[in-house]
Amino acid sequence: MYLPEWMDNSFFALVALIVFLGIAVYFGVPRIIGQMLDKRIKQIGDELDEAKRLREEAAALLVEYEQKRVSAEKEAEEIVTAAKADAERMTAEAQTALEDMITRRTKAVEDKIAQAEAQAVTEVRSRSADLAIEAARVMLTDQVAKKGNKLVEEAIKDVGSRLN
């Protein structure tokens, strides 16, 4: 059976596409897709409403925390004022006690500094020893790699001469 030239594979693909689209329309695929899109649109709208609600809650919390910050700053100023008054009173009452305390604290700080210096020196020495050991290991590894056979032969000769 001979088919006209225009009835090639492209023609049959077009017919199949038209049949497929017809079946899709017949079974309501566009309506189903529309319903799915409507559902997604509703879901997005709900998410936007939730985001707006959360933003409003966040704004309310921000206002609340701003009020708390202001009251905390006022309280801190009152505490600072009271502390200054107490400090002035204590200074007037116990100047010598304060000097003794400063002397003790200065001594404690100097002791801590000396301890930190000693610890730093110990750490530097330890690190230097570690570096020296690593350098020696690298040197020995290089020497064994270069002169390994010679060293083994000398050791064997030395052992042989000491055994005889």
Per-residue pLDDT of the chain (164 residues; tens, 9 = 90+): 677 777 888 889 999 999 999 998 898 888 999 999 999 999 999 999 999 999 999 999 999 999 999 999 999 999 999 999 988 887 788 787 767 888 899 999 999 999 999 999 999 988 888 888 888 878 777 777 777 777 777 777 787 777 75
Domain spans in the chain, listed from the N-terminal domain onward? 12-93
Q: Residue 100 is encoded by which pair of tokens? A: 């003794």
pLDDT at 141: 78
Question: What does R_g of the chain's alpha carbons equal in angstroms?
Answer: 45
Q: Residue 124 is encoded by which pair of tokens? A: 């530097």
CA distance 89 to 93: 6
Provide, for the chain, the percentages of residues in helix, strand and coil under a 3-state DSSP scheme, each rounded to the nearest 5.
95, 0, 5
| Total number of residues shown for the chain | 164
CA distance 121 to 117: 6
Q: How far apart are the first and last CA of the chain?
A: 110
In three-state secondary structure terms, 3 is coil
Q: Residue 102 is encoded by which pair of tokens? A: 């400063």
pTM of the model: 0.34
